[in-house]
Structure 1
Amino acid sequence: MSSSDDDEVYAVFIGAALLVSVLGLAGGFLTWLAGQVSGVIAGGGWPDSNPSDFAEIAFRFLRNPSNPRAAWPTGAAGAVGPASVFFVLLFVFLVALAGGLYFGIRLVLNVRRRRPVRRLRLGFASGWEVRKLLSARTVLSKAYQVRPSFQSRPLREVKPEEVGFYIGRDIRSRRKLYTSLEDMMIVVAAPRQGKDVHFVTPFTIDAPGPCIVTSSRRETFVNTAMVRAQYGEVHVFDPFNWTAWPHRMRWNFLDGCEDTNVAAVRSGTLVATSGLDMAREGAQGLGGVITVIRCLLHAGAIGGLTIREVVRWVYEANTDEAMDILRQGERDGRVAPGYSAQLEFNRRDERLWSGVMQVMSCFSIGDILDDLSPSPGEEFNYKEFLKGRNTLYFVSKQQIDHGGIAPIVTTIVEQFFRSARGAAMKNPTSRLDPPLTFELNQVTDICPIGGLPTYMGESGGYGITIHAYLTSLADARAKWGTEGAARLWDNATFRVISGGTGTAKDLAELSDLVGKQHGEPALRPEEIRTMPFGRAALVAGTARPVEMWLTPWWKRKDRDQIAAGKQAVEELIRMQAAGQTPSSPAPATPNVDTVPTVTPNAETAPLLTTTDDEDPWPSL
């Protein structure tokens, strides 16, 4: 048990002792008062006894309750009234005391529910509840389940950061809060409310296995790339060359499309995220566009070509070569019968073809085609990526119109989801170990995976952790619809709500989610909106809500190393902007005072993340 746990237990015992003492003193005084008043009622007058005698009188009464007069001093005993009067008065006084305590407590609780200092308000998880459901101890209790390879390690040697993530500190009990690797999390925070500094950067650094990060800005990459490079390989999908990182992810977009199911999923994802409107195009029109793209992707894979050739077919509006490949493949038994007929039928519709060109416009940037058409031997090896503590960043612009690359990023990440689940199912434990972490920042902008609500509900059992970041619930409804957004929200076991976000309707929903105490919300909508930077509400599993302090990366114990890595990456970017050739990046040097020696071994490499024990924010 930690010192903070001991302190709370001691506080409870001390509080209970004080309460018993106060009630005992009150009962003793009422015993003295009942005897004094009984004398007046019985006609004997006020007994010659002072209030200071009440403790001695109460003690004597407890020793001989059948004869109240014997408890009073000799000179005052004769004036005390009969026992029947005494006991009636004592009962009345005790009932009055109990009633006064009841209404007094209700008054205090009612004041607590409405007082502006939320730290004293009811409706939030107690320290014991936090310890039971959200503490490091709870995360460690699942260590052998989420990391089967740890079975041979004594539990006392396992660190919480190896089987979970530190997310903040409860402002009431001051306990550290952790989420397990099995827990899926959604963070709702307005722009510039610290999603990156409080969550994405720390979680990326802390990820105990491979980590995939998406963002429409390079901030996370700049903060974490050098630190992650100490553990394993760092790859970047950066078609706009914002990062100056030499290790670019080059992935064959047609990889696996020899399988008709893979081609179907890939084409469907491209169309779903391209901006085509079902109301305008109609189900038949969208179905035709998907069919054409599916056939083209399948033909390119069967023919041993790259996405560059497929894009050329689209822009030239000439699929003769694809038709020849499909027909030959059908004759050889490598293509399912009917593919060439489907393409032949649908390519005649000029309206469908315009839709195909619109979807494939995301490949219009030359650097994207280079990265997605690698030469043999240059392809990104995803299977090897999953074996170590490696990192893959997707850094891209937001999709604000047609031609954005969100469809490409979404398609790749969707494929990586499916491949990771397939790899997990091949393991005896049906889990990835080391576990895979997805940090999906700006998820609705550059990676709106259609199946994300489902993945949120299933991935924990495969050794896959998902952290998705939203600027508002409205964004989620716009991408996944009302029901899809609701499933996304419901399937997340941890929901973090930050300030400065949401419409009145969204804020009301979030307030209801946080919960109520006797009809009064624990956090009112305006309190959620005005929540200061560095504070957030947490709704996790079956626990009552928790209001927590967040720890920005510059308050971590490894902050010097993060800052050094950040400076090194910024220097690479500066050199590129100046037209100089950046040197090959080297991992940031660890701070030997706070960071243990790091080796790029996913199973043995220690984690750099231990958070400061000091309160990250002043008491409120």
Structure 2
Amino acid sequence: MSRALGPKPSMWHPSAAGGWLVLAVCWGPVGCLAMVWGAAHVAAWLSGGRVMGFGSDFALAVLHGRFERAWPDTPTSLVTAVLIAGGLGLAVAGHHLWRRIEQHRTWPGDPIAALARSTRLVSLQRPQVAAKAVQLRRSLRGRRPERLAPEEIGLLLGHLQQRARRTGPAVYASWEDTLVAFMAPRSGKTTALSIPYVLSAPGAVIATSNKADLWAATAELRRETGGRVWLFDPQHITYQPQGWWWNPLAGLFTVEDAHRLAGHFVLTVDDPNKKDLWGPAAQDLLCALFLAAATSGRSLHEVAGWLDEPAIPTPIELLQTAGFPLMASSLRGTQNGAVETRDGIYQTARTAAKCLRDQEILAWVTPQDGLPAFDPATFVHPGAGQSGTLYLLSKSRSAAAPLIAALTDTVMRAAEHQAEQAGGRLDPPLVVVLDEAANICRIADLPELYSHLGSRGIIPVTILQSYEQGVTVWGEPGMAALWGAATRKLIGAGTDSPRLARDLATLTGQHDVPIRSLTYTDGRASEQLSLRRQDILEPAAIRALPPGTALLLATGGTPALLTLRPWYTTPHADQITQAITTAENAITKAARTHFGNNKVIDFTKDFPDL
């Protein structure tokens, strides 16, 4: 919030035209005569001549054309050339000076100027964030903050906009912040957030996406840092061969862990009525089946089979043997309930676990001969996987999304356990970039996790297309909790939610704007300047934020407008471009092989019925 002490008429105001005219008439001729006299002095110095003293005699001599008297022994042509050159030089200098003045000038109601007045964002600038990084990370103790590399101190949010055409200092998120971003497609969320954050992370990274662009731009460069790249791509988005597998049932020996795993599946059910009616019971059913399989050394293959046989007693017997009589009793009650109820529960569970019907997806979460198993604890352990990168790709939530959510959640919990063993904080921190989080990485209690992940050295970056998209996943209370727990909020271009735009306008605050009014009375005109209180950013202005710009809301700070920094403006742009080219060639070659020995599909010939 800013408040002016009073309206200040501008020196360029139209009412000041008369004064400027008087000054021009009085001092214009004097200035022109001074330029002629200065040019004559320069010409006299070059030719060895002389020049009369500046005054009325010099002016009369010039006006009457008696140049030999005004500058004796000095060629008039030389004086003219110097005068023209000097005039051009002054014109160029004046033009540049005017542009500099224009860059620093503001107009009444300029939101950038109003937001730039605040000094409460100093804590987000490099010196302060670097000092905090030294305090938070044990590996940086004893180092001077000013000598830290940008990627060591935090995640770059952007550059403050101080004027309409001027970029201010960079601001960062520290290694204890949690981020949430609302950005529409093609507004810079991948180029300015996902790719730079993956490349600048000092430790392990989890990155989710529904496209290959994030992997293509960063995988090879991350591999060059010495860490292993793990690519989870069961839907062949990159067409790269499977190089590993992960067992979701590994280490699952408690009801709580099994219930948490089941929740990732149920959250992907598309039908809200079915999810609300049968969802809790379907989650309990999957919990029992997962626990029975995990404690008996079985895999998800058996779980998929048990879902097709509602009356099979095998999982009940396995739960009894493993020491879970209450879970066995619960499963028996589900199987022995009314047929309509039992079928509704089992059908909802089958819908939630439909990814287990896809053999290509199932191959990534069941034992595969010759392929290593992914171990989340090793991945987050400093020294073993500190620069590893885990890419999790899926085209939609109807496919491998529950497995992506489960693997992300498992790695974050492993990171929490590692942090607890290391004194409470993970060093180097784990960066979790959840692009398309509402579609392919639905973690039910993510809003609650946001309240403490930052204090553990786990930095989540949840990128959503809109506020309403988050509401569809976590509900109104959950989304409000996520919004409140995020310490850094970025709102980019394409915010079409009227509700969010109005709320942001309120949070941004108001300022005083000078208003000029004219009154005509008895043939006379009078002018008044008054103050009007108005929003710094109106909802329409927030919706119309241009691509590459974002509104920042930081805990404990005032709102600010940022200029984002996409990867192609960084010093590593050439390396990233080369990595993208190499990856795209690899995808093209692998795709042709996948579709049959470089055969190009001709829809007219191959599918005449279409």
Equivalent in the alignment of 1:500: 494
* Contact 2:263/2:444, CA 8 A, preserved across alignment: no
Following superposition, the deviation at residue 275 of structure 1 comes to 3.4
1:261 aligns with 2:221: no
Equivalent in the alignment of 2:394: 396
Query: Which residue, 405, 410, 415 being the options, matches 1:415?
Result: 410
**What do the CA deviations read for 1:405-461 (whole angstroms, capped 9, x no partner)?**
32222222222222221221121x211111101101111111121111112221111
Equivalent in the alignment of 2:178: 184
Alignment map for 1:45-194 (pairs within 5 Å): 114-115=108-109, 117-119=110-112, 121-126=113-118, 128-130=119-121, 132-172=122-162, 174-194=168-188
Structure 2 residue ranges without an equivalent (≥5): 1-104, 337-341, 513-532, 596-610
Equivalent in the alignment of 1:487: 481
Percent identity at matched positions? 27
Q: Secondary structure at the match of 2:230?
A: strand
Query: Which residue, 326, 335, 341 being the options, matches 1:338?
Result: 326
Q: Secondary structure at the match of 1:507?
A: helix
Equivalent in the alignment of 1:363: 356
Q: Secondary structure at the match of 1:122?
A: helix
Q: Secondary structure at the match of 2:325?
A: coil
Q: Secondary structure at the match of 2:552?
A: strand
Q: Which amino acid aligns with 1:311?
A: A
Following superposition, the deviation at residue 293 of structure 1 comes to 1.1
Equivalent in the alignment of 2:238: 243
Following superposition, the deviation at residue 571 of structure 1 comes to 1.3
1:450 aligns with 2:444: yes
Query: Which residue, 343, 354, 363 being the options, matches 1:350?
Result: 343
Equivalent in the alignment of 1:478: 472
Q: Secondary structure at the match of 1:273?
A: coil
Equivalent in the alignment of 2:374: 380
Q: Which amino acid aligns with 2:140?
A: F
Equivalent in the alignment of 1:313: 306
Q: Which amino acid aligns with 1:385?
A: F
Give distance in 1, aligned partners of 2:563 and 2:175.
21
Equivalent in the alignment of 1:108: none
**TM-score when normalising by structure 1:** 0.70
Equivalent in the alignment of 2:295: 302
Equivalent in the alignment of 1:82: none
Q: Secondary structure at the match of 2:571?
A: coil
* Contact 2:319/2:325, CA 8 A, preserved across alignment: no
Q: Which amino acid aligns with 2:510?
A: K
Give distance in 1, aligned partners of 2:255 and 2:274.
28
Following superposition, the deviation at residue 196 of structure 1 comes to 0.5
Query: Which residue, 433, 440, 446 being the options, matches 1:439?
Result: 433
* Contact 1:125/1:546, CA 8 A, preserved across alignment: no
Query: Which residue, 267, 271, 286 being the options, matches 1:272?
Result: 267
* Contact 2:247/2:367, CA 8 A, preserved across alignment: yes
Residues 1:241 and 1:449: Cα distance change in structure 2 (over 3 Å)? same
Following superposition, the deviation at residue 547 of structure 1 comes to 1.3
* Contact 1:125/1:543, CA 8 A, preserved across alignment: no
Residues 1:149 and 1:319: Cα distance change in structure 2 (over 3 Å)? farther
Give distance in 1, aligned partners of 2:107 and 2:260.
51
Give distance in 1, aligned partners of 2:428 and 2:578.
27
Q: Which amino acid aligns with 1:423?
A: Q
Give distance in 1, aligned partners of 2:117 and 2:238.
43
Q: Secondary structure at the match of 2:187?
A: coil
Query: Which residue, 585, 596, 604 being the options, matches 1:571?
Result: 585
Following superposition, the deviation at residue 125 of structure 1 comes to 4.6
Q: Secondary structure at the match of 1:420?
A: helix
* Contact 1:163/1:208, CA 8 A, preserved across alignment: no
**What do the CA deviations read for 1:253-287 (whole angstroms, capped 9, x no partner)?**
2112222221121123322333353x55656x433
* Contact 2:115/2:561, CA 8 A, preserved across alignment: no
Q: Which amino acid aligns with 1:555?
A: T
Following superposition, the deviation at residue 145 of structure 1 comes to 2.9
Give distance in 2, aligned partners of 1:457 and 1:451.
11
Residues 1:246 and 1:147: Cα distance change in structure 2 (over 3 Å)? farther
Residues 1:288 and 1:420: Cα distance change in structure 2 (over 3 Å)? same
Give distance in 2, aligned partners of 1:390 and 1:125.
42
1:198 aligns with 2:186: no
Give distance in 1, aligned partners of 2:539 and 2:146.
43
Q: Secondary structure at the match of 1:261?
A: helix
Which one has a larger percent strand, Structure 1 or Structure 2? 2
Residues 1:290 and 1:463: Cα distance change in structure 2 (over 3 Å)? same
Q: Which amino acid aligns with 1:288?
A: A
Query: Which residue, 545, 548, 557 being the options, matches 2:559?
Result: 545
* Contact 1:227/1:565, CA 8 A, preserved across alignment: yes
Give distance in 2, aligned partners of 1:148 and 1:575.
45
* Contact 1:314/1:356, CA 8 A, preserved across alignment: yes
* Contact 1:201/1:553, CA 8 A, preserved across alignment: yes
Residues 1:541 and 1:407: Cα distance change in structure 2 (over 3 Å)? same
Equivalent in the alignment of 1:56: none
Following superposition, the deviation at residue 198 of structure 1 comes to 0.8
Q: Secondary structure at the match of 1:439?
A: strand
Give distance in 2, aligned partners of 1:520 and 1:112.
17
Residues 1:460 and 1:125: Cα distance change in structure 2 (over 3 Å)? farther
Give distance in 1, aligned partners of 2:312 and 2:407.
25
Residues 1:575 and 1:123: Cα distance change in structure 2 (over 3 Å)? closer
Give distance in 2, aligned partners of 1:550 and 1:352.
47
Q: Secondary structure at the match of 2:202?
A: coil
Give distance in 2, aligned partners of 1:249 and 1:466.
25
Residues 1:422 and 1:264: Cα distance change in structure 2 (over 3 Å)? same
Q: Secondary structure at the match of 1:183?
A: coil
**What do the CA deviations read for 1:571-603 (whole angstroms, capped 9, x no partner)?**
11011122189xxxxxxxxxxxxxxxxxxxxxx
Equivalent in the alignment of 1:41: none
Q: Which amino acid aligns with 2:538?
A: R
Give distance in 2, aligned partners of 1:146 and 1:246.
39
Computed over aligned residues only, the root mean square deviation of the Cα atoms, in angstroms, reads 2.4
Following superposition, the deviation at residue 148 of structure 1 comes to 1.4
Q: Secondary structure at the match of 2:185?
A: coil
